[in-house]
């Protein structure tokens, strides 16, 4: 088994999916977390001056989705053939876009403007996307996003949507029974439960 070392801030953020994948796969990893004050000194050591970075036996891999995809493929969570793997990639890219779409609201300093931006994000961006996902889940018919089994796509949706529920409540999922079921399914996986209970508690 290779030695995995994941470098990131002390946040869930863009590293949590990789942590969920490794936890679900039952793979050991060193969960290196640093504070913002330590970052300037570490930045120059990262391949593109950014994190997360996965160190695999001393070699560095950057970019959160690349890291997650690499781990998913290595540990049977990527999909059973190339087509399923592509579908899983597609869903992970959707989550990536949603995370990026949330940034302007997240970074807004004015409290009133921030509230407005979050509301717009949740109704327009997330609401629209949830409607599409419900259709896809219904069409696939297995409870999973891709194929018949758990893939990192399911973990990606769990990671981001459980965070949204935490922050905004469940109301926005009232017409999304399939997505709600998927989130509950992942939440109940023993390895995920164990990780969520033991991980450092962070705001994001």
Partner 1 sequence: MPGYKLYYFNVRGRGELSRLILHCAGVPFEDFRFEGKDWPAIKPNMPFGQVPVLEIDGNKMLAQSHTVARYLARQHGLAGQNDWEQSQADMYVDCIYDMHGTMRTPTWETDPVKQKELFDKVNEETIQPHLEKVEQHIIKNGSGHLVGQGLTWADIAYYAFFTTPIMTRLGGEVFTKAPHLKKLIELVGSNPNIKKALSSCPAPNTKLINGHCSTE
Q: Which residue has the tokens 């869930």?
A: 12
Taking the complex as a whole, the smallest distance from the CB of residue 16 to partner 1 amounts, in Å, to: 17
For partner 1, the closer of residues 5 and 74 by Cβ is 74
For partner 1, the closer of residues 70 and 195 by Cβ is 70
The Cα–Cα gap between 132 and 202 comes to 30
Taking the complex as a whole, the smallest distance from the CB of residue 193 to partner 1 amounts, in Å, to: 29
For partner 1, the closer of residues 131 and 202 by Cβ is 131
For partner 1, the closer of residues 11 and 61 by Cβ is 61
Residues 63, 14 contacting (CB under 8 angstroms):
no
Alpha carbon distance, N-terminus to C-terminus of the chain? 30
Taking the complex as a whole, the smallest distance from the CB of residue 198 to partner 1 amounts, in Å, to: 28
Taking the complex as a whole, the smallest distance from the CB of residue 32 to partner 1 amounts, in Å, to: 19
In the chain, where do the E strands start and end?
A: 4-9, 30-34, 53-56, 59-62
CA 146 to each of CA 56, 71, 84, 135: distance values in angstroms, whole numbers, following the listed order: 27, 17, 6, 13
What is the contact surface with partner 1 in residues (CB under 8 A)? 47-49, 59, 61-66, 69-70, 73-74, 82-83, 86-87, 89-90, 93-94, 100, 128-129, 132, 136
């Amino acid at each position: 088994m290779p030695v995995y070392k994941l470098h990131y801030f002390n946040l869930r953020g863009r590293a949590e999916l990789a942590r969920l994948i490794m936890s679900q796969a039952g793979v050991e990893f060193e969960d290196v977390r640093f504070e913002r004050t330590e970052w300037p000194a570490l930045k120059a050591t990262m391949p593109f001056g950014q994190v997360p970075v996965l160190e695999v036996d001393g070699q560095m891999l950057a970019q959160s989705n690349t890291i997650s995809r690499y781990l998913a493929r290595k540990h049977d969570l990527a999909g059973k053939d190339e087509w399923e793997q592509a579908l899983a990639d597609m869903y992970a890219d959707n989550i990536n876009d949603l995370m990026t779409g949330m940034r302007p609201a997240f970074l807004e300093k004015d409290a009133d403007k921030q509230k407005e931006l979050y509301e717009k994000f949740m109704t327009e961006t997330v609401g629209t996307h949830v409607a599409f996902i419900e259709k896809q889940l219904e069409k696939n018919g297995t409870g999973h996003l891709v194929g018949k089994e758990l893939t990192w796509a399911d973990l990606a949706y769990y990671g981001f949507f459980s965070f949204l529920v935490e922050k905004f409540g469940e109301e926005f999922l009232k017409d999304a029974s399939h997505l709600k079921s998927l989130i509950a399914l992942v939440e109940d996986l023993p390895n995920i439960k164990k990780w969520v209970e033991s991980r450092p508690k962070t705001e994001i």
